[in-house]
């Protein structure tokens, strides 16, 4: 955590040597983000309000959050690579460390000029993914910034685009489905070349004459997150507010709104059905050829992940 950033901190005991914090601070990439690779191809501009990632034939670039989160709602405004973006992948995701990692993915698969991007989503638990859903978007994601959000709490994970839910992954541990709940994750973003698979299964390659490719990021919001930190409570002088609690208890209305959410309300479910009916182009829960021995449990149970809607 950067010491000069204005923030409010709440701390409760959670894991040995760690504290669980709720942090509220200004939206400044210099305070929130570390550019971790790309040899100068990632740049923070405009007094910390804009972050550009670039990709050329030598390398892409990427960044990560300074903080690790155990549950939260994170938002990022992104403007994707314009024009012929075939072969490129722009990402915004949460990921833990280790061989049995958890991960919640937004990946934007580029395409040739005039063809739409594909928004690729996935959820990994304990190193196991294979839960892809893909969508077209109902707007041009290269013309201006749009907001992409991940809500992750003990009950479910929800992917949002401009505030519209497009996917829900429910906690179905009672049915034997693993759920990310104990490994803190950082937020990551990247722009990289994946022309071996990203566009039409790798049939369309990156046209390097169109480069360097640039994707832009703004207004990262980690305000509604439970942050893992090694800050010593005894040395932290800060205003006390209601904590994000592992048992789901919270009297803070802003925290409770996302942390204690157990499902989506009727209007949200209606929007989710509309998006999945109109814009979903791949759903792992419909891929019986891929899962020839039987669909995953969450796809077939009565309390399924809302994963059976397809175009």
**Known catalytic membership, residue 103:** yes
- What pLDDT sits at residue 291? 94
Does pLDDT of 259 surpass 70?
Answer: yes
d(CA 10, CA 121): 32
Does pLDDT of 18 surpass 90?
Answer: no
Nearest to 166 by CA among 296, 263, 307, 299: 307
- What pLDDT sits at residue 256? 62
Does pLDDT of 3 surpass 50?
Answer: no
- What pLDDT sits at residue 257? 82
- What pLDDT sits at residue 229? 59
Regarding predicted confidence, which is higher, 73 or 14? 73
- What pLDDT sits at residue 252? 47
**Known catalytic membership, residue 107:** yes
Poorest-confidence range of 158-172, 201-215, 250-264, 267-281? 250-264
Poorest-confidence range of 88-97, 120-129, 222-231? 222-231
Other Cβ atoms less than 10 A from the Cβ of 99: the count is 6
Beta bridge partners of 121: 106, 133
Which two tokens mark 152?
Answer: 């992750």
pLDDT band at 2 (very low <50, low <70, confident <90, very high): very low
Does pLDDT of 233 surpass 50?
Answer: no
Does pLDDT of 107 surpass 80?
Answer: yes
Nearest to 33 by CA among 22, 19, 20, 45: 45
pLDDT digits (tens, 9 = 90+) for 91-101: 999 999 999 99
The structure tokens 């007094």 sit at: 47
d(CA 219, CA 274): 27
- What pLDDT sits at residue 177? 95
Exposed, middle or buried: residue 81 (CB in 10 Å: 0-12, 13-18, 19+)? Answer: buried
| For range 103-107, the mean pLDDT | 98
Select which of 68, 107, 168, 298 is catalytic: 107
Do 220 and 27 contact (CB within 8 A), yes or no? yes
Residues 6+ apart with CB under 8 A from 41: 53, 54, 55, 56, 59, 60, 61, 212
Collapsing DSSP to helix, strand or coil, 298 comes out as: helix
From the options 3.30.420.60, 2.60.120.200, 3.30.1360.30, 3.40.1000.10, give the CATH code of 29-230: 2.60.120.200
pTM as predicted: 0.84
Do 2 and 31 contact (CB within 8 A), yes or no? yes
- What pLDDT sits at residue 227? 86
- What pLDDT sits at residue 42? 98
Poorest-confidence range of 124-133, 226-235, 281-290? 226-235
DSSP annotation string for 161-206: ETTEEEEEEE--GGGT-----SS-BEEEEEEEE-TTTTTGGGTS--
Does pLDDT of 260 surpass 80?
Answer: yes
Mean pLDDT of the chain: 84
b/e 114-126 (16+ beta carbons within 10 angstroms → b): eebbbbbbbbbbe
Which two tokens mark 97?
Answer: 């460390």
Rounded to the nearest angstrom, the gap between the alpha carbon of residue 15 and the centroid of all alpha carbons in its chain is 24
Task: List, edge to edge, every strand of the sheet that includes 103-109.
Answer: 33-37, 61-65, 186-193, 88-95, 103-109, 118-124, 133-135, 280-283
- What pLDDT sits at residue 200? 87
């Amino acid at each position: 955590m950067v010491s000069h950033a204005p923030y409010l901190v709440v701390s409760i005991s959670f894991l040995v040597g760690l504290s669980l914090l709720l942090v509220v601070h200004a939206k400044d990439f210099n305070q929130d983000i570390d550019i971790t690779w790309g040899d100068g191809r990632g740049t923070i501009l405009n007094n910390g309000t804009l972050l550009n990632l670039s990709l050329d034939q030598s390398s892409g670039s990427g960044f990560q959050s300074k903080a690790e989160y155990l549950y939260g709602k994170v938002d990022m405004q992104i403007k994707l690579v314009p024009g012929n973006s075939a072969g490129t992948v722009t990402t915004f995701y949460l990921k833990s460390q280790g061989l049995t990692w958890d991960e919640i993915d937004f990946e934007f698969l580029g395409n040739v000029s005039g063809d739409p991007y594909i928004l690729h989503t996935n959820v990994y638990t304990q190193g196991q993914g294979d839960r892809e859903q893909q969508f077209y978007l109902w707007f041009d994601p290269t013309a201006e910034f749009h907001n992409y959000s991940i809500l992750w709490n003990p009950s479910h994970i929800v992917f949002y685009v401009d505030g519209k839910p497009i996917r829900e992954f429910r906690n179905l541990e009672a049915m034997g489905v693993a759920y990310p709940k104990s490994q803190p994750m950082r937020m990551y973003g990247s722009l990289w070349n994946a022309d071996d698979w990203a566009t039409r299964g790798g049939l369309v390659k990156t046209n390097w004459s169109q480069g360097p490719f640039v994707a832009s990021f703004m207004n990262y919001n980690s305000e509604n997150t439970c942050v893992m930190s090694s800050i010593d409570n005894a040395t932290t002088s800060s205003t006390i507010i209601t904590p994000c609690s592992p048992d789901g208890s919270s009297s803070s209305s802003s925290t409770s709104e996302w942390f204690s959410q157990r499902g989506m309300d009727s209007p949200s479910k209606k929007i989710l059905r509309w998006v999945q009916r109109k814009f979903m182009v791949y759903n792992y829960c419909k891929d019986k050829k891929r899962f020839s021995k039987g669909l995953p449990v969450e796809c077939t149970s009565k309390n399924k992940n809302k994963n059976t809607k397809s175009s």
